[in-house]
Amino acid sequence: MRHFISILDISSEDIEGLVDLSFYLKMKKRFGKNEKSLRDRNLVLIFEKPSTRTRLAFDFAAQELGMNTTVIDKTSSQLGRGEPLIDTFRVIERYADAVGIRTFKQKPLEEVSKLISIPIINALTNEEHPCQTIADLLTIKEKKGKKNIKVAYLGDGNNVCNSLLVGCASLGIDIFVATPEGYEPNKIYVDEAKLRAKKNNTKVVITNDPIEAVKDADVIYTDVWISMGDKEKDIDKFKPYQVNKNLVKHAKKDFIFMHCLPVHRGKEVTEDILESYHSVVFDQAENRLHTHKAILLYVFEV
């Protein structure tokens, strides 16, 4: 049994293994042969924040592995009345075999994990989105391979960006992050990414220049400028980071466009790019199903 809480705690080898396993499970499903090795185990999913892709992907992934799933949120549990997270988890571990949670702060989740005897999966916190990163890396592998790749991430240095930095560096993928001044990714994740990149002789660059980031990029990635739970931001600062036809002309001609969704059309990306042949956002969303199966197998060490 092991947790899947922070990308910082997952080795480069395990990240690569998760991507390869996800691809294998995707091919297996394509030929009508779902993996059933977690049959009759129980998964509880807790959502303290809204969710579409994560909720559906984990629910269906678990069922395809033979698991039973139960979903609760603040309105349908005592969490809404202020029950401490640790008390909720101490009850769940008596009923279920694993728990996935979409919540706010990362630290309380890490503290709870030290006291709980079943695997905990971080389905998103304010600081990280490690499940999304595995799906992103699978998408990059499928569309661009794994060698000599440059990813350009534009916009807010948020939880998606933090996790993507470490994920790309782990697989030897160059990653350039361009954000407005004051919205750079968390230094902890930048430092870890640079350590992993050094071992792979690849680059991690943090800049305020969107053109520098996009120049000769194989992948252009962006996310919403205001994430769930964020305070109001100065949107004018983000406008130069919009993915549009003028910016993408600096990338390679065969670049792919990625976004973790949901998207604000006309804000962080223009409609013509989102709906162009460059866009792989719905392939990326589909991959959440396959990578979530891999993560479930990973935490049970199957």
Q: Is 223 among the catalytic positions? A: yes
Rounded CA gap, 206 and 159, in Å? 15
CATH number, domain with residue 114: 3.40.50.1370
Question: b/e map of 19-29 (b: 16 or more CB within 10 Å)?
Answer: bebbbebbeee
> Higher model confidence: residue 98 or residue 79?
98
Percent with pLDDT over 90 in the chain: 90
Of the candidate ranges 26-30, 135-139, 284-288, the one whose mean pLDDT is the lowest = 26-30
43, two tokens: 């998964």
Encode pLDDT of 197-243 as tens digits: 999 999 999 999 999 999 999 999 999 998 866 767 889 999 999 99
pLDDT in tens, 20-59: 999 999 999 998 887 789 999 999 999 999 999 999 999 9
**70 in the same domain as 180:** no
Q: What is the model's pLDDT at position 229?
A: 62
Per-residue pLDDT, 33? 80
The active-site residue, picked from 3, 53, 55, 102, is 102
CA distances from 25 to 19, 264, 290, 295 (A): 10, 31, 6, 11
The values of phi and psi at residue 40, to 5°, are 70, 5
Report the length, in residues, of the chain: 302
Active site residue 288: yes
Assigned domain for 274 exists: yes
The number of domains in the chain is 2
Active-site entry in 156, 196, 223, 242: 223
* Of 240 and 74, the one with more pLDDT: 240
131 is catalytic: no
Domain that holds residue 168: 132-280
pLDDT surpassing 70 at residue 134: yes
| Assigned domain for 78 exists | yes
User: Catalytic one among 53, 278, 288, 290?
Assistant: 288
90 annotated active-site: no
